[in-house]
Chains A and B, each alone.
Chain A
Amino acid sequence: MIALLPTLAEPQHFSLVEKLLFTGLALASACAFWRRFGKILNKILKSKKDASFPLFPLAWRIRDFVWEVLFQAKVIRERPLPGLAHAFVFWAFCAFALVTLNHCAVGLGIGFLSPAGRFGRFYFYCAAVFALTCVAGIVGLFIRRFFLRPKWLGAKLSYQSGVIAFLIFALMATYLASFFVADADPSARVLWWLHTLTLLVFLPLIPHTKHLHLVLSPATVFLSRGSFSQIPPLVGDEDFGLVAGTDLTRLVSLQVYSCVECGRCTEHCPAANTSKLLNPKEIILGLRGYLNDLGLASEEPLLGKYNAQEAVFQCTTCGACEFQCPVGIEHLPILVGLRRGAVNTGVWEDSHGSKLFLALERGSNALGISPAERDKFIEKQQLPLFDGTQEYCLWLGCMGGYDPKGREIVADFARVMNYLGASYGVLRKEKCSGDPVRRLGNDLLFQQLAEANLEILAQNKVKKIVSICPHCVRTIQEDWKEYGAPPEVEHHSEFLARYAGKLPQKGSGLESIVFHDPCYLGRYRNVFDEPRKVVALAGELVEAPRNRERSFCCGAGGGMAFLSEETGNRISHVRAAELSATGAATIATACPFCNTMFRDALSATGEGAPQLLDIAQLAARGLPKGSSS
């Protein structure tokens, strides 16, 4: 019987045998679920407690939860079509919570939603709409996984996913079909049982497959560390980072079990995209394998059978993985944590890495150059010395103080500051901010550098810092906090954007300029518009295919500028080619590391390469002649 407005059929009068059978099967299903899930939950809860993890305030946690979980905003924004398909499935699951509860209650003769009642009828119709979109979504996802087969999902087809897709489809189909039969019709009873059996098969599959994310990832998103790439402090005399199973913390274990293996991290990883060993998804799955096989009590190193040390030290810490992850995995504390474990215990041996560490143990800068060279540069450029009366301390950093191109950027930025009449000075003495050693996991050196710098800044009574280097800015503002209270610090793009109105504007449309978002300015600091504002003063802004939050790394971060990149293509070459291909006359950067990487990459491409300038140089170029210091 097909009515104009069909009603959901609910079989009535279940026999005692049926009730017992249902109860027995439901219990068996729940047990099968718990046997696996209980183990996992136990592992998470028994992991080491996280240092410095304040649960409160809850406001931003709730906001992120609503936005990323309930609205599925991140999933949709970063992969619109599959994201929307996923959201349809997720929303249907939410809507079905009540339907499923009622469905089971009906089997015990205690159904509480009447398909004939006003609310029941309304709710079941709503659920039917969600079921329809869910069917569309799951069919779409099935086609994507089994026919389109994007490489990020892995070369091997996941038959588990196929089974799960079928079960979800079956759940929705049996629900929708129930609208087209009568209560008393035997087929209503058959549909009820089919729906029930699907449910009871689905439940235990959740903790046995990556669909565990259904249960865990809402918690993972809610329990995020709160800021990007937050590296936890080491506690006590026996904490050297992630060395063995005993070092895995609750957050790490929770995140590791939440991974849904979607491969977004790998899709955006500069190392994985240039044929390196590193694959961020496999790092997480490697840790999961370790937890499953060896557990928390194991003293076996985390880097070895389950994850390769080589891979971990190929990471540029660009953070594309952490930014992309839809289930709240924070890759950077994990990758840096694994590096800490290897470096703090002296297990990592790399001639370039040792050279960098020894240069910073004995000297002041990462380039291993005498500070006398910095003094000469300051003298030659007649940069004013900071004496406590000026508003800004112009922090040079290793690149600004010692690298020829970095110096040009500082000199030009100083010209702009002079033009604007800003009051600033440079420090007589400065040590490396510690960025490369922080990211490489050398906590001893990092602490020494941070403490020495904090003392220098306090002695000089520095209140505000401005720097041309996003790595320095990030490290000073966030990472030094562990050892003291750093002064206020900003990147020169923020300074320049604030004074954009006072800077001369070139006629637009003359020169096309493509802006490369440095990872440590964009993803790390959320500064995207300011440098673009400066670029717009000098010419016509062009966007690279991957821009803003999706910007592709230059290859220098994470200490990689000081190591050798021997496997695969060079990251800098890939990105430089992408920037050149926009046809822009000029590539603008806002980071001296990006600058040096692209300088090398562009010189390798030879003739016809676009010119390469920092935004400070673009701003300085527009100044009237003779306005130099």
Chain B
Amino acid sequence: MKIVVAIKQVPERDAQFRIDAQAKWIEEADLQFTLNESDAYALEEALQLKEQHGDEVIVVSAGPERIGTTLREALAKGADRAIHIECGDLGARDALGVARLLAAAIQPENPDLILTGLQSEDLGLGQTGVILAELLALPHASLILHVEKTETGLKVKRELEEGWFQTVELPTPAVLTIQSGGNKLRYATLMGIKRAKTKEVRRVTAAELAVDAAPVVVLERVALPQKQKSTQILPGTAKEAAEVLVEKLKVEVRVL
């Protein structure tokens, strides 16, 4: 199964963010960048499918020079080759614009499956993967936790609200957007990094892909959220309170 994983490099979640002078985006100068979390899960899903069914995993990402480190990291974790869409104005493109870039780069590969994260940690639009499917005229499913290859295509597990799940079958090729937490992520290894040195990273410019860059959605202004604290006192006996606390830590704070 030939799988393409579309990934994005985003600022490290821990960073101290500052809004830039035009209030259009964040100051990128002092930031450190990393692989978007749900994309990491998409990559993990692809690697596991490859381990079961063979063939290859190709990672593709659009962005400036700095995304090279993230592509290398993906190669180190086990992807076979990478496509770097050189694009310095990613921030000026909307989800449609980015999806057009990805679609143009992916199309010639003719993959059996395209995976991407559910949404990016920086913009959180959750649209790129879905638009990508439309552009490529492929069936798609979102919020996927688990993918299984069947005789005819795929059987996937979707996450719904309130702890409900849905199982859907769809033919290949298809596009899936992957939800975080479905798998255990693998850690990067020294061997992986050394092996990644010899793997191919094909560079292609946005101009070469000849897609329309004019955005239909324009980012007006970004602002830091207002801080607010809230304290909750959990009533009941220690045992009852502990049960509620565990539930809250699981569902609301999601640390367990």
Instruction: Give me the interface of A with B, judged by CB distance under 8 Å.
Output: 234, 237-238, 240, 343-346, 351, 353-354, 357-358, 361-364, 370-372, 375, 442-445
Whether A346 contacts B16 in the complex (CB less than 8 A), given A354-B185, A354-B187, A357-B187, comes out as: no
Besides the contacts A345-B190, A444-B188, what 12 more A-B pairs have beta carbons closer than 8 Å? A351-B184, A354-B185, A354-B186, A354-B187, A358-B185, A361-B187, A362-B13, A362-B14, A362-B34, A371-B14, A372-B14, A444-B190
A353: chain B residues at CB < 8 Å are 187
Asked whether B14 lies within 8 Å of A444 as measured between CB atoms, the reply is: no
Is B189 interfacial (CB 8 A cutoff)? yes
Q: How far is the CA of A371 from the CA of B32 in the complex (A)?
A: 13
- Chain A residues, Cβ within 8 Å of B14: 362-364, 370-372
Q: Which of B14, B186, B193 has the most CB of A within 10 A?
A: B14
Return the 9 tightest CB-CB contacts between A and B, nearest first.
A357-B187, A344-B190, A444-B190, A346-B189, A345-B191, A237-B194, A443-B190, A370-B14, A371-B14
Give B contacts to A, CB under 8 Å. 12-14, 16, 34, 184-194, 197
A176 to B190 Cα, complex, angstroms = 62
B185, A346: Cβ atoms closer than 8 Å: no
A73 CB to nearest B CB, Å: 40
Cβ contact within 8 Å between A343 and B194 = no
Q: Kindly list chain B residues whose C-beta atoms are within 8 Å of the C-beta of A361.
A: 34, 187-188
Contact partners of A237 in chain B: CB under 8 A: 194, 197
**With the chains together, A237 CA to B196 CA distance in Å?**
11
Instruction: Give bound CA distance, A237 to B192, whole Å.
Output: 11
Q: Given A362-B13, A362-B34, A372-B14, do A240 and B184 touch, yes or no (CB 8 Å)?
A: no
Q: Which residues of A contact B193 (CB under 8 A)?
A: 444
Main secondary structure on chain B at its contact with chain A? loop
Task: Return the chain B residue nearest A344 by Cβ.
Answer: B190
Given contacts A362-B13, A370-B14, contact A354 B184 (CB under 8 A): yes
* Cα-based distance from A343 to B190 in the complex (angstroms): 8
Task: Kindly state the separation between the CA atoms of A354 and B186 in the bound complex, as whole angstroms.
Answer: 7
Q: Is the CB of B12 within 8 A of A363?
A: yes
Subset of 17 A-B contacts with CB under 8 Å: A344-B191, A346-B186, A346-B189, A346-B191, A351-B184, A354-B184, A354-B186, A357-B188, A361-B188, A362-B14, A362-B34, A363-B12, A370-B13, A372-B16, A375-B16, A444-B188, A445-B188
The interface residues of chain B lying within 8 Å CB-to-CB of A375 are 16
> Taking the nearest CB of chain B, how far is it from the CB of A583, in angstroms?
33
Residues of A close to B185: CB separation below 8 A? 354, 358
Alpha-carbon gap, A363 to B12, bound state (A)? 7
- A358-B197 Cα distance, complex, nearest whole Å: 21
| Contact partner, B12, options A234, A343, A345, A362, Cβ 8 Å | A362
How far is it, in angstroms, between the C-alpha of A371 and the C-alpha of B16 when the chains are bound?
A: 9
Q: Which residue of B lies closest to A342 (CB)?
A: B189
Nearest opposing residue in chain A for B76, CB measure: A444
Is A240 touching B12 in the complex (CB atoms < 8 A)? no
Cα A237 to Cα B16 in complex, Å, equals 36
A350 to B239, CA, bound (A): 31
**Which residues of B lie under 8 Å from residue A362 when comparing CB positions?**
12-14, 34
Q: Which of B13, B184, B187 contacts A346 (CB 8 A)?
A: B187
